[in-house]
Amino acid sequence: MQRLSSWICGEWREGTGAQSPLYNPTTEAVVAETSTAGLDLGGALSYARNVGGTALREMSFAERGAMLKALSKAIHAVREELIEIGRLNAGNTRGDAKFDIDGATGTLMYYAKLGESLGDQRVLLDGDAIQIGGARLSGQHILSGRPGAAIHINAFNFPAWGLAEKAACAILAGMPVVSKPATSTAYMTWAMVQAVAQSGVLPEGVLSLVCGSAHDLLDHAEWSDVVAFTGGADTAARIRSHSRLLETGAAVNLEADSLNSTVLVPNAKDVTYDAFIRDVAKELTQKAGQKCTATRRILVPEDQADEFVEDLGERLDQIVVGDPGLKGVHMGPLATQSQVGAAQEGISALRAEADVVYGSTKRGEVKGVDGDTGYFVSPLILRARDAHAGQAVHDVEVFGPVATILPYDGSADAACQLVRRGQGSLVSSIYGDDRQFLRDAIHGLAGWNGRLMLTDAKVAEQAYPPGMALPHLLHGGPGRAGGGEELGGQRGMRLYQQRTAIQGNGPLIARFLEG
C-alpha cells in the first residue's frame, strides 16, 4: 500500500495521525493512504509566494512557457504508470485514463506555445495607450501576475487534467501553485508531481502538492492569493463564504454542478443525427458519466422520442461494464462508494417525474467482478413524463451514467425554455441543420451557458463531443455552474493577473514596458 506525502516547502512531508484511505473502486481494496495532520500549510503557502512567486515574476512569458513544455514532457514520460494508477484508484478504463492524462499534457503544451508567442515581455498591455492630457501625458493599462499564490482545490474525476488546466494558466501568468486534489483519487496526482519533482524542471516553490484534507489551508490565505475550486455546489458555497476569504478579499473562482443539455433539432440530417447519438452515448459512458461537462438532459422532439430511445439503446447495448483492466470493457465503476449512494438517491428523485426507458436501476451485469463488489452503476436513461411541469429533472444532477430525455414540441423557444431551467450550465449543445433554430439558440441560451456547441452536417464528423473542454475556449458557466471561468487561451490567465493603470510620460512608459 502506498503512503502519499505532500510536496511543500521544497520537500516531501508526511502527515501524522490517522490516515485517510484511498480505494480501488473495482475491488474495494485500500490501495493508498494519506494525511495532512501536523503539516504547516501556512508555511507551504508562504514558501510558494516568496520563493516560487519571486522566481516566476523574474521570468518572461517565453521562459514560463518553456517551463510548461518541460512539465508536460515530465508527466508524459510516466504516462503508462499513470494509466495503471487510473485503473487502480479511479476505476478508469485505459481510454478514460488516457483522456485524463493526455488532456493534462496537451493543455500544458498549449499554454507552453502561448507563452512562446508572448515572447520576452513580463507584463501584457491591456488595450492601447490613452491620451489624457498634453502631447506626452497618457495612460496605459497593463496585466501582471498577482503577488500571491494560486490555491487550487480540484475534483476527484480528473486527477491529472484538473491539476494541469489550472496550473498552466496560473504559472504562465506568473503565480505559483499550491494544488489540493480530491483525496479519493489523489494517487495519480501524487505520482505526477513525484515525476515533476524528480525531473527538476520547475524552480522551487512553483508547484506544491497537498495530499489529504485541506485542513486549515484556506485559513492562511492572503489578499494577494487566488482560490480556484472545482467540485460540488455545497463545497463551493462553503468556500465562497469562508471567513478568511471574505476578510482578505482574495480572488475566488468556482466551478460547480451543472445540468448540461443536448438538443436535437427537428429534421436533422442523417449525419447530424448520427453525431447526436454518438455524442450522447459518449457523454453518458466516458469516465462512467463522471464529468462536469457530461450531458444530463437530452431534448428530443416529441415525435422522434421513441425512435431516439431505440437508436440510443442499440448503441448502449455495445457498452460492456466491468473491471476496467479487462480487454473489451468500455466502462468501469464510479470512483467511490459515496458516489454510488448519491447516484442512487438522485435516480430515486428523478423517477418521481420520469420513467426508465433503458437500463435498470439495479447493478446489472458486470464483467470480471464477482458478487456485489465494486462501485458499479450501469447506464440508465429516463424519460420525463412532462418536461415542462417537472422540477427534479431540472434540479437533480446524477454524477454518473444517467441522463433524462425531455420531449419537447420541436420549437426553438420551447427548447430554450427547458435548457434555461438548469439555472446556468457549463455547456449546452445543439445538433441540427435548421439555421434559424441555431441562430435562435445562440440568442436564447448564451446568457445561461459558459459554452454553446452547434453541430450541423458540415462539421458533424469532425466536431468534438460537448464534454471535451478545450484549452482554446472558456470552461466555466454562470449561476448553478459556479459563475467562474478558466482556460480560453490567454483569457485563462486573467484570473491570476492584476490590471494596473500606468499614467505619466507616454513615450517613457512605452520604453519601460518594452520586453
Predicted local distance difference test score (pLDDT) of residue 17: 84
For residues 289 and 283, the answer to whether their CB atoms sit within 8 Å is yes
pLDDT confidence of residue 461: 92
pLDDT on residue 232: 87
Is 292 tagged catalytic? yes
**Can 255 be counted among the known catalytic residues?**
yes
Per DSSP, the residues of 401-435 read: SEEEEEEE-S-HHHHHHHHHTTSSEEEEEEE-S-H
Catalytic residue among 165, 255, 283, 485: 255
pLDDT profile of the chain (515 residues), mean per 10: 93 90 96 94 96 95 97 97 96 95 97 96 91 87 95 95 96 97 96 95 95 94 96 90 95 92 96 96 95 96 95 95 94 95 95 95 89 94 95 95 96 97 96 96 96 96 91 94 93 96 89 77
SS3 sequence, 139-177? EEEEEEECCCCEEEECCCCCCCHHHHHHHHHHHHHCCCE
Please classify residue 344 by burial: count the beta carbons closer than 10 Å to its beta carbon, then call 0-12 exposed, 13-18 middle and 19+ buried.
middle
Q: What pLDDT is stored for residue 328 in this prediction?
A: 93
Are the C-beta atoms of 320 and 367 separated by less than 8 Å?
yes
CB 164 within 8 A of CB 107: yes
Domains (ranges, CATH) in the chain? 14-256+485-512 (3.40.605.10), 260-471 (3.40.309.10)
- Non-local (6+) Cβ contacts of 418 within 8 A are 261, 297, 299, 387, 388, 394, 406, 408
Indicate which residue of 169, 211, 292, 416 is catalytic: 292
Radius of gyration for the chain, computed over Cα atoms and rounded to the nearest angstrom: 24
Long-range contacts of 9-14 (CB under 8 A, 24+ apart): 9/40, 9/43, 9/44, 9/47, 9/205, 9/208, 10/47, 10/51, 10/204, 10/205, 12/197, 13/39
Q: What is the pLDDT of residue 515?
A: 55
Q: Say if CB 35 and CB 19 are below 8 A apart.
A: yes
pTM of the model: 0.93
Please tell me the predicted confidence (pLDDT) of residue 134: 79
